[in-house]
Amino acid sequence: MFHHIHRFFLFLCSIFLLSSCLTLTGCEKEEALKKTNSLEFTIVTGTDIPEELQSLIKERQKEAFELTFSDNSYLYVIKGYGQQDSGGYNIVVNDFFQSDDCLVFDTELFGPKQNETVSSTPTYPYIVIKTEYRENPVVFR
Protein backbone atom coordinates (compact mmCIF):
# COMPACT_ATOMS: atom_id res chain seq x y z
CA MET A 1 0.00 0.00 0.00
CA PHE A 2 2.75 2.46 0.95
CA HIS A 3 4.53 1.73 -2.35
CA HIS A 4 1.43 2.76 -4.34
CA ILE A 5 0.92 5.94 -2.30
CA HIS A 6 4.59 6.81 -2.68
CA ARG A 7 4.46 6.22 -6.47
CA PHE A 8 1.30 8.31 -6.78
CA PHE A 9 2.88 11.14 -4.75
CA LEU A 10 5.97 11.10 -6.99
CA PHE A 11 3.73 11.15 -10.05
CA LEU A 12 1.78 14.17 -8.74
CA CYS A 13 5.04 15.97 -8.02
CA SER A 14 6.29 15.33 -11.55
CA ILE A 15 3.04 16.67 -13.05
CA PHE A 16 3.33 19.78 -10.88
CA LEU A 17 6.96 20.31 -11.89
CA LEU A 18 6.17 19.93 -15.59
CA SER A 19 3.33 22.43 -15.39
CA SER A 20 5.49 24.81 -13.33
CA CYS A 21 8.29 24.60 -15.89
CA LEU A 22 5.87 25.47 -18.66
CA THR A 23 4.90 28.73 -16.99
CA LEU A 24 8.47 29.62 -16.03
CA THR A 25 10.21 29.02 -19.36
CA GLY A 26 8.28 31.44 -21.52
CA CYS A 27 7.10 28.59 -23.74
CA GLU A 28 3.55 29.88 -23.53
CA LYS A 29 4.27 32.45 -26.27
CA GLU A 30 2.90 30.27 -29.06
CA GLU A 31 3.58 32.71 -31.87
CA ALA A 32 7.33 32.54 -31.12
CA LEU A 33 7.52 28.73 -31.28
CA LYS A 34 9.55 27.74 -34.33
CA LYS A 35 10.10 24.11 -35.26
CA THR A 36 13.72 23.15 -34.61
CA ASN A 37 13.30 19.36 -34.73
CA SER A 38 10.53 16.94 -35.69
CA LEU A 39 9.89 14.30 -33.03
CA GLU A 40 8.93 10.68 -33.47
CA PHE A 41 5.89 9.40 -31.59
CA THR A 42 3.42 6.56 -31.48
CA ILE A 43 -0.31 6.88 -30.87
CA VAL A 44 -1.24 4.50 -28.06
CA THR A 45 -4.65 3.13 -27.13
CA GLY A 46 -6.28 0.59 -24.82
CA THR A 47 -3.96 -1.56 -22.73
CA ASP A 48 -0.87 0.12 -24.22
CA ILE A 49 -1.71 3.12 -22.00
CA PRO A 50 -0.27 2.68 -18.47
CA GLU A 51 -2.93 1.92 -15.84
CA GLU A 52 -2.15 5.03 -13.78
CA LEU A 53 -2.59 7.18 -16.87
CA GLN A 54 -5.86 5.45 -17.78
CA SER A 55 -7.18 6.39 -14.33
CA LEU A 56 -6.13 10.03 -14.74
CA ILE A 57 -7.81 10.23 -18.14
CA LYS A 58 -11.02 8.73 -16.78
CA GLU A 59 -11.06 11.30 -13.95
CA ARG A 60 -10.66 14.22 -16.37
CA GLN A 61 -12.47 13.07 -19.53
CA LYS A 62 -15.74 14.98 -19.05
CA GLU A 63 -13.95 18.31 -19.50
CA ALA A 64 -11.28 19.31 -22.02
CA PHE A 65 -7.81 18.59 -20.63
CA GLU A 66 -4.11 18.56 -21.47
CA LEU A 67 -1.77 16.26 -19.62
CA THR A 68 1.75 14.87 -19.67
CA PHE A 69 2.76 11.64 -17.96
CA SER A 70 6.09 9.89 -17.60
CA ASP A 71 7.01 6.40 -16.50
CA ASN A 72 10.71 7.44 -16.61
CA SER A 73 11.15 5.49 -19.86
CA TYR A 74 8.66 7.30 -22.05
CA LEU A 75 6.81 10.58 -22.11
CA TYR A 76 3.07 10.39 -22.79
CA VAL A 77 1.33 13.50 -24.09
CA ILE A 78 -2.46 13.55 -23.84
CA LYS A 79 -5.11 15.91 -25.20
CA GLY A 80 -8.76 15.37 -24.30
CA TYR A 81 -11.64 17.28 -25.86
CA GLY A 82 -14.26 16.70 -23.16
CA GLN A 83 -17.76 15.35 -23.57
CA GLN A 84 -19.22 15.38 -27.08
CA ASP A 85 -22.91 14.74 -27.74
CA SER A 86 -22.37 11.80 -30.09
CA GLY A 87 -19.87 9.40 -31.61
CA GLY A 88 -18.03 9.92 -34.88
CA TYR A 89 -15.30 12.28 -33.65
CA ASN A 90 -11.69 11.95 -34.81
CA ILE A 91 -8.52 13.59 -33.55
CA VAL A 92 -5.67 14.38 -35.92
CA VAL A 93 -2.10 15.12 -34.82
CA ASN A 94 -1.09 18.04 -37.03
CA ASP A 95 2.44 18.17 -35.64
CA PHE A 96 4.66 17.20 -32.73
CA PHE A 97 7.99 18.97 -32.63
CA GLN A 98 10.70 20.56 -30.55
CA SER A 99 11.04 24.33 -30.42
CA ASP A 100 14.16 25.32 -28.53
CA ASP A 101 13.41 24.09 -24.98
CA CYS A 102 9.73 23.21 -25.54
CA LEU A 103 7.80 20.38 -27.12
CA VAL A 104 4.77 21.41 -29.18
CA PHE A 105 1.76 19.09 -29.54
CA ASP A 106 -0.66 20.33 -32.19
CA THR A 107 -3.94 18.42 -32.55
CA GLU A 108 -7.36 19.03 -34.03
CA LEU A 109 -10.79 17.51 -33.33
CA PHE A 110 -13.06 16.72 -36.26
CA GLY A 111 -16.75 16.02 -35.76
CA PRO A 112 -18.91 13.53 -37.61
CA LYS A 113 -19.52 14.17 -41.29
CA GLN A 114 -22.82 15.85 -42.09
CA ASN A 115 -24.73 12.75 -43.25
CA GLU A 116 -22.77 10.21 -41.20
CA THR A 117 -24.80 7.90 -38.96
CA VAL A 118 -23.32 7.99 -35.45
CA SER A 119 -24.25 6.87 -31.97
CA SER A 120 -26.23 9.43 -29.97
CA THR A 121 -24.42 8.32 -26.81
CA PRO A 122 -22.02 10.96 -25.43
CA THR A 123 -18.33 10.29 -26.11
CA TYR A 124 -15.11 11.62 -24.62
CA PRO A 125 -12.52 11.83 -27.42
CA TYR A 126 -8.88 12.02 -26.42
CA ILE A 127 -5.53 11.11 -27.91
CA VAL A 128 -2.42 9.70 -26.25
CA ILE A 129 1.01 9.71 -27.85
CA LYS A 130 4.16 8.07 -26.55
CA THR A 131 7.61 9.41 -27.28
CA GLU A 132 11.14 9.16 -25.95
CA TYR A 133 11.37 10.56 -22.42
CA ARG A 134 12.26 14.25 -22.34
CA GLU A 135 12.12 16.77 -19.53
CA ASN A 136 11.02 19.63 -21.77
CA PRO A 137 7.71 21.35 -21.03
CA VAL A 138 4.90 20.73 -23.51
CA VAL A 139 2.86 23.40 -25.26
CA PHE A 140 -0.54 22.26 -26.52
CA ARG A 141 -2.13 23.78 -29.61
pLDDT score at 21: 41
Number of domains in the chain: 1
pLDDT category of residue 125 using cuts at 50, 70 and 90: very high
| For residue 92, pLDDT beyond 90 | yes
pLDDT category of residue 97 using cuts at 50, 70 and 90: very high
Domain that holds residue 84: 2-140
Mean pLDDT of 118-129: 96
Q: What is the pLDDT of residues 10-50, one digit of tens each?
A: 444 444 444 434 444 456 565 578 999 999 999 999 999 99
Q: CB–CB of 61/36 below 8 Å?
A: no
Mean pLDDT of the chain: 85
Q: What is the pLDDT of residues 56-85, one digit of tens each?
A: 999 999 999 999 999 989 999 999 999 999
How far from the centroid of its chain's Cα atoms is residue 71's Cα?
14
| For residue 95, pLDDT beyond 80 | yes
Which residues touch 80 (CB under 8 Å, ≥6 apart)? 57, 60, 61, 63, 64, 65, 66, 67, 124, 125, 126
pLDDT score at 33: 85
